[in-house]
Amino acid sequence: MPTTASTPVAPRAEIVRFLDDLLRPPPACEDSSRNGLQVEGRPEVRRIAFGVDACQALFDAAVAESADFVVVHHGLIWGGGLRDVAGINARRLGTLLGHGISLYASHLPLDMHPEVGHNAEIARRLDLRGRQPFFEYGGVPIGCQGELPTPHSLPELRALVERHLRTETRALPFGPDTVRRVGIVSGGGGDAIAAAAEAGLDGLITGEVGHANYHVARENRLHVIAAGHYRSEIPGLECLMARLRERFGVAGVFLDLPTGC
């Protein structure tokens, strides 16, 4: 995408500092992701791309969009770092470095953030009242819980989630006839089922659940709505895109590459 003299430009270092300050996790947070700037690109940023997963398709799309900076939920560097710079890692890094594109990742901090986090934003879209932290993972509570403004049947709640997350859901329908109190854990939240039951919730909204979660939900008499891992981890990125546009005036684009999972 061509730029002009009037195109807003922001220093990369200032964007990184803003994101680091906004998304700084509490000291107790144990995250396998290397959160923060993972790849350093050109010093000036005119266009920021956002996506869920760091992958070749996302980087190719960023190049096509003339992005200088990419923000993702699932980055390239986990644990002790990259195992090697060969194969797909070499191609991915080659695309970023060859086009001067920076990569910034935020994993658990973007799940748990009370303002721009996935779970907080889903709760806002569903208009949950009396929101509180819920479900500890990695040493910190990453989800939230609250009450719907009016009781919903399970089909009604599924329709609400599908509309606000632009997705199709599947459900484990084992809770009460009406749902009022729900918990939200984006991504893979099957482990939060028992915690939701212990908290006296009627249902859990998450991204995906596994085979082993079926009987846990059934025996705890809990509804579980799975909105898709990918779709449940878009809301926080959309919040970040708005925040960065407001703060720096730099154009942003969300690169939608659904996995179907």
The answer to whether residues 117 and 222 belong to one domain is yes
86 within some domain? yes
Domain that holds residue 124: 111-232
Distance of alpha carbon 126 from alpha carbon 159, whole angstroms: 11
Same domain, 94 and 118: no
The beta strands (E) that lie in 13-122 are given as 36-39, 44-45, 47-53, 69-74, 102-105
Same domain, 102 and 199: no
Q: What is the CATH number of the domain that holds 39?
A: 3.40.1390.30
Q: Based on the fold, state whether residues 228 and 115 are members of the same structural domain.
A: yes
User: Got the DSSP string for 82-96?
Assistant: -S-SSHHHHHHHHHH
SS3 call for 235: helix
End-to-end CA distance of the chain: 31
**pLDDT single digits (tens) 71-109:** 999 999 998 788 889 999 999 999 999 999 999 999 999
**What is the pLDDT at residue 82?**
81
Together in a domain, 128 and 24: no
Quote the mean pLDDT of the chain.
Answer: 96
What is each CA distance from 178 to 2, 84, 150, in whole angstroms?
A: 53, 52, 10
Answer yes or no: do 154 and 196 share one domain: yes
> Which single residue is written with the structure tokens 């709505």?
225
pLDDT tens track for 11-70: 999 999 999 999 999 898 999 999 999 999 999 999 999 999 999 999 999 999 999 999
Q: How many residues does the chain have?
A: 261
Task: Name the domain count of the chain.
Answer: 2
Q: Are residues 126 and 224 in the same domain?
A: yes
Looking at residue 51, its pLDDT comes to 99
Asked if pLDDT for residue 2 goes beyond 60, the answer is no
Model confidence pLDDT, tens digit, residues 171-197: 999 999 999 999 999 999 999 999 999
- Are 102 and 132 contained in the same domain? no
